[in-house]
Amino acid sequence: MQPRDLSDHVAYEAGRGIEEVARELGRDPSEFIKLASNENPHGPSPAAAVAIRETASSVSSYPKAAHADLTTAVADRWGVGDEQVWLANGGDGAIDYLHRAALEPADDVLVPTPGFAYYGMSSRFHHGDVREYELSRAADFAQEADAVLDVYDGERVIWLTSPHNPTGSTMSLTEIECLAEGTDEDTLVAVDEAYGEFADRDSAVALIEGRDGFDARDDVAVLRTFSKAYGLAGVRLGYAVVPAEWADAYARVNTPFAASELACRAGLAAIDDDEHVRRTVETARESRAYMRENIDTHVWESEGNFVLAAVGDATAVSDEMQERGVIVRDCSSFGLPGCVRITCGTEEETERAVETLNDVLDDLDVEPESTGESEDPDAEVADP
């Protein structure tokens, strides 16, 4: 017996960890810093860490109360009804729930390239197909409604990533509204705001609720996560905010207890830890500015907790940086073989990354390319 045909599916390629790299190179893990996976350099919210320790003795129970309490806390934060918050096992779990609720077999989703591989992976898991729209390197990866509508052909779900990974570009609410207006009434515009806390932009929740001068819409959903600004990537906690009209679907598409007891208790503590988020966002903004000003090659403006840098040969540069103790993301798997992505670290980590990258570029005599069209628009894309 064999599994079903998975030949169209893309393997999820995670960023490499310090322990993995250290073992491979036969080195001490303390020699390395990891700036490859857009993790929080300050770690988890301290309040969340306390909550996890205090909850450890109660994990024999299902998280019914904690799940309900966190749903209410998130709903209160966004000013929506509890039924509009779909808790999930990470942001990828929320992607699955939206696809379960929206897709019929053979429906298409429209995804950005370069972009997050799991949009397409999840669609295929749910027997949907995948089409792509390109974010052009020549246009600095700008996100505009017309560029998406030029490719749009009645897809059931359109995925936007704002801020976008790996480029850091964003799409304004006005452009998102234009996109939703220009699509069929049965098309869902799903806005992935995993890095939303780092951007100086309002959330697309305003479009769902009809705030700030926008009309309320039933064809927009927003994805958020506790992995980035809150530092809870390891507990896997995310959620979607959906239109009120979608409320009844959650009970029919979610898994039993969509987030664990530990995750829910950590989220409840973290969501009120505004100081940790403020510090994290401030560090990211300072790190982004430092890298743009001091890296000796083109670095795109970013509103995420990372920057994208043009380095000519991403594999050679990232491999050499790794040898020198700085792990960054080779973006070849995103279809950008001339670029690396560098997560915003602490001041010390950021300065080390910049110095190492500049030395590597000089030593390898690499002539970085900073203009030109997306290098391989047909390449499969990768993860965050």
pLDDT band at 258 (very low <50, low <70, confident <90, very high): confident
For range 5-25, the mean pLDDT: 79
| Long-range contacts, 64-70 (Cβ 8 Å, 24+) | 64/257, 66/261, 66/264, 66/265, 66/268, 67/257, 67/258, 67/259, 67/264, 69/264, 69/268, 70/259, 70/264, 70/267, 70/268, 70/271
pLDDT at 369: 55
Quick check: 178 and 151 in contact, CB under 8 A?
Answer: no
pLDDT at 358: 97
Say if residue 371's pLDDT is above 50. Answer: no
The mean pLDDT value of the chain amounts to 93
CA gap 285, 292 in Å, rounded: 11
DSSP 8-state assignment for residue 44: S
**CA 54 → CA 60, 119, 269, 367, 370, distances in Å?**
13, 35, 11, 53, 50
pTM to 2 decimal places: 0.92
For range 185-196, the mean pLDDT: 98
pLDDT digits (tens, 9 = 90+) for 199-241: 999 999 999 999 999 999 999 999 999 999 999 999 999 999 9
Say if residue 368's pLDDT is above 80. Answer: no
pLDDT at 22: 82
Say if residue 264's pLDDT is above 60. Answer: yes
Classify the C-alpha dihedral 40-45-51-54 as positive or negative.
positive
Mean pLDDT comparison of 122-131, 187-196, 243-252, highest-scoring range: 187-196
What the chain holds in terms of domains, given with CATH numbers, is 18-44+275-363 (3.90.1150.10), 46-270 (3.40.640.10)
CA gap 307, 319 in Å, rounded: 18
For range 37-50, the mean pLDDT: 97
pLDDT at 247: 87
Say if residue 298's pLDDT is above 50. Answer: yes
CA gap 269, 262 in Å, rounded: 11
Residues 349, 350, 356, 359, Cα dihedral to 10°? -150
Say if residue 374's pLDDT is above 50. Answer: no
Give bridge partners of residue 326 from the DSSP assignment.
Answer: 33
Say if residue 106's pLDDT is above 90. Answer: no
Q: How many C-alpha atoms does 245 have within 13 Å on its Cβ side?
A: 11
CA gap 356, 349 in Å, rounded: 10
Among left, alpha and beta (phi > 0; psi -120 to 50; other), residue 373 is: beta
In the numeric block, which tokens belong to residue 324? 């020198």
